[in-house]
Structures are given as structure tokens and as C-alpha cells.
Amino acid sequence: MAVDEGLKIELGKQGVFVTTLQELYNWGRRSSVWPMNFGLACCAIEMIATTMARYDLARFGAEVFRPSPRQADLMIISGTVTKKMAPQVVRLYNQMGEPRYVIAMGACAISGGPFKQGYNVLKGIDRYIPVDVHIPGCPPRPEALLEAFMTLQKKIDAQHLTGEERPRHLDAEAPGMFPVPEQGEHDLEPPANKNVWTVPVVIR
């Protein structure tokens, strides 16, 4: 049940703080997103810069980079995902605890970027795992990563605890396992996870 915004502000002026369980829950979630200590390519350098004093990701409660997927909430795909690395990325994603979020950072993580024509480069990590925020750029500046992080926080803030629109991690029916692709003869098998990504139809 939502509290009327005007009433909330009015009560706040009188020193009464009103909130809902959902707001409290989401506030806790978004203020302590711990990213995984995981860098793939040059975008990772920008990711590191984002955590340092000048850009200071700590302002958003996300300075605690965890070296283990079991302690991490957010996976920042920072760089080119080669077909050799993709199974490892998906495997690590599967090992993260719920709720888990993914930021695809940079052109490579989104679509393969400048290496899209390469035989060994995955054309976007969203073929295998659900991505929450995409950031364009090659590499994106730390400000762009901060923007993506704030976008993710807004997304978490808008999540419902119950009902049809509740997020994946609160839905007992939603899948918790995303199949890890294997190296086939010419390509990864399967080339994409059908439940996450569908082949776009080119209309000529």
C-alpha cells in the first residue's frame, strides 16, 4: 500500500517518518549492492577508477567488491566476452546468490563492440544471462558507470515485493539456473539461451 507523497512530506515536517515495508526493503537492497571483483578487459580499468577516490562508488554503498560470487550481488561485465570466457561468466553468474543484478559495461559486453566481426567474440552477454543495465561506450567513462549504477538503484527501488510484477528472485517459479554454454565444434552450444534472448528478425 502506497503512502500519499504529500501526506508523507507533511508528516515528515512534523517529525514523523512514514514508510512501507517494501520501501524499506528496497532501500536496504539498493544501498548495499556489492559488486563482484571481476574484470574482463579495458572497461575494467574504468570500473577500477570508479571505485577510487575521484569517482568514489562508495557513495552509493557499492564499494565492497567481493572476490567470491557467493558474496556478490552485482556482476559488472566490464569488457569483451570471448567465446572462451563466456561459459566461465555464466557459471559465475549462476553461483551468485539471489537477488543478483548484471550491468553490461561497454560496447563489447553489449554487442561485441569493435570485435563484433571476430570469430571468437560473443555478440553480447545478454545472450546467456539477463542484463539489467546496458552502458554504451568504448570504454564508458566512470560517470557512465555511476549513471548505470544509479539506474540500477532506481530499478531496485521500483520493485514490488508481491504481485505479478515482482522481480525474478521473489518469484518461486522463475528459473534460478541459466544453462552454461559449452564449446562446440564451431561455436558455443547453444549459441544463445532462448529464455533470455531471442534472435532478432531482420526485416528487409
Torsion, CA 29, CA 34, CA 36, CA 37, rounded to 10: 170
> What does each C-alpha distance from 75 to 3, 8, 105, 133, 193 come to in angstroms?
33, 35, 10, 11, 18
φ, ψ of residue 21 in degrees (nearest 5): -60, -40
Q: Could you tell me whether strands 188-189 and 182-183 are parallel, antiparallel, or unpaired per DSSP bridges?
A: antiparallel
User: What are the beta bridge partners of residue 182?
Assistant: 189
Q: Is the peptide bond before 190 cis (omega within 30 degrees of 0)?
A: yes
From candidates 20, 58, 97, 189, binder to another protein by CB under 8 A: 97
Q: How far is the CB of 63 from another protein (least distance, A)?
A: 21
3-state secondary structure of 27: helix
Q: How far is residue 179 CA from its own chain's centroid? A: 18
DSSP one-letter code for 178: -
Decide whether 89 or 188 has the Cβ nearer to another protein.
Answer: 89
Kindly state whether residue 177 participates in binding another protein, applying the rule CB under 8 A.
yes
**In this chain, which stretch among 12-20, 40-48, 97-105, 196-204 interacts with another protein, using CB under 8 A?**
97-105
Residues 56-85 that bind another protein (CB under 8 A): 68-70
Work out the angle at residue 110's Cα, subtended by the Cα atoms of residues 116 and 114, and round it to the nearest 5 degrees. 30
Kindly state whether residue 170 participates in binding another protein, applying the rule CB under 8 A.
yes
From candidates 4, 9, 58, 91, binder to another protein by CB under 8 A: 91
**In this chain, which stretch among 44-52, 94-102, 133-141, 144-152 interacts with another protein, using CB under 8 A?**
94-102
Kindly state whether residue 92 participates in binding another protein, applying the rule CB under 8 A.
yes
Decide whether 31 or 68 has the Cβ nearer to another protein.
Answer: 68
Kindly state whether residue 37 participates in binding another protein, applying the rule CB under 8 A.
no
Kindly state whether residue 94 participates in binding another protein, applying the rule CB under 8 A.
yes
Task: Tell me which residues touch another protein (CB under 8 A).
Answer: 68-70, 87-89, 91-92, 94-99, 169-170, 174, 176-177, 180
